Structures are given as C-alpha cells and as structure tokens.
C-alpha cells in the first residue's frame, strides 16, 4: 500500500496517536504515571518530536540543495503562502530527496545517544516525549523503507562512502529497532 500526500500524513498521525495511547495506558495501569499535567506535556513533546522530522524537507529545499528541482518547487509553493499544499507536497515528494539529514544512519546513531541521555538525565516529560516522537517517526520511516520498499533503504547510508551489504542493512534496521523500543519503555 502506497499512500500519498495528506493520506500519508494521516497514516503517520494515526500510528503516532495509537502508539502514544498504548504507552500511556500501559504506564497508567502499571502505576508508573498518574493522571496529570505530565501526561499532556509528554504527549505535546511526542507531537513536536514527530513533526520535527517533516522539517527535513524544508532543510533540503532551502539550505541543503536549493538548486534542485524539488527544492525550487517547494520554495515556490511556500513563497505563495500555500502552506497546507506545501506540506502535503513535501510529504509526497520526500522520498525523492536522496540526501536527507534526519533520515540517515549517522543521525540514527546521534538519536540513540540523545535518547540514552534523555532516559538517564532528563526529568521533563516534554523532553522525554520529544525523544519518543522523534524516534517514532524515524523508526516508522526506516521500517517503511525496509519492509515495504517505500524508498530504497540504502539511502539511509548516503553519508557512508562505500557499498553497504544487505546483511549490514538488516543489522542496522533490527539493531535500531531493538534499541529504540528499549529506550521508549524508559522515556
């Protein structure tokens, strides 16, 4: 199944809300949380972190490759004040940008280090939720590329200047998946 534009945005949002709801219910039932402002801040952080990954298209269009055809289309749409159409276009076209800053294996490593620091040192539910949302979006995109071939999963390795073997890709994908979910249970 290949979703485009606003359908893809809706699918992303539904998965995020479902996973945050399951995590919230589990934590409330296990007695780790009580109903209060902390839950709202955690959800807000999750939404902000999740949305940050969409900014990757803006970075690509305005700073990383401003001469690219996709970048020129994006600047034109945003320049005319059509923000909703620009966001939908950005979602539909993001797989065409090969050198995505946030969708790279090096950023996954940075995220894991930041996640460990957040899990061990950050008391703010907003910051912890931010890391959950950011990681959730990265994990969903990585799995979509790996399992459903939405985009060539080897594009996540664009910063590495050698040929990446399939077993290395599998190791990174499943390693990130395991480490990410271990972090999520602690954030």
How much of the chain exceeds pLDDT 90, in percent?
35
pLDDT tens column, 59-105: 766 676 667 766 676 667 667 766 666 666 555 555 456 677 888 99
DSSP 36: S
d(CA 95, CA 115): 26
d(CA 168, CA 176): 12
pLDDT at 2 over 90: no
- 38: tokens are 């902390």
Number of residues that this document lists for the chain: 187
pTM higher than 0.75 for the full model? yes
Task: Indicate the SS3 state at residue 115.
Answer: helix
Nearest to 126 by CA among 181, 25, 47: 47
**Taking phi first (over 0 means left), then psi (-120 to 50 degrees means alpha), and beta for anything else, what does residue 81 get?**
left
Sorted by sequence, the CB contacts under 8 Å of residue 65 that are 6+ apart come out as 71, 97, 99
Cβ distance 134 to 111 under 8 Å?
Answer: yes
Cβ distance 177 to 143 under 8 Å?
Answer: yes
Q: pLDDT tier at 185 (50, 70, 90 boundaries)?
A: confident
- 130: tokens are 């931010």
Nearest to 102 by CA among 139, 65, 150, 152: 139
Cβ distance 170 to 45 under 8 Å?
Answer: no
Q: Please report the pLDDT score of residue 175 as a whole number.
A: 96
């Amino acid at each position: 199944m290949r979703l485009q534009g606003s359908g893809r945005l809706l699918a992303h949002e539904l998965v995020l809300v479902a996973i945050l709801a399951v995590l919230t219910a589990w934590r409330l039932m296990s007695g780790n949380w009580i109903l209060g402002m902390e839950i709202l801040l955690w959800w807000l952080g999750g939404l902000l972190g999740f949305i940050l990954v969409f900014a990757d298209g803006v970075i690509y269009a305005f700073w990383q490759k401003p001469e690219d055809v996709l970048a020129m289309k994006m600047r034109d749409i945003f320049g005319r004040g059509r923000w909703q159409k620009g966001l939908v276009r950005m979602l539909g076209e993001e797989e065409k940008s090969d050198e995505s800053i946030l969708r790279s294996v090096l950023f996954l490593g940075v995220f894991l280090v930041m996640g460990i620091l957040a899990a061990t040192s950050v008391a703010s539910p907003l910051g912890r939720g931010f890391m959950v949302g950011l990681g959730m979006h990265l994990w969903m995109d990585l799995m979509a590329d790996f399992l459903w071939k939405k985009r060539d999963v080897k594009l996540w390795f664009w910063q590495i200047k050698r040929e990446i073997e399939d077993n290395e890709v599998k190791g990174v994908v499943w390693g990130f998946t395991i480490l990410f979910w271990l972090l999520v249970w602690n954030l």
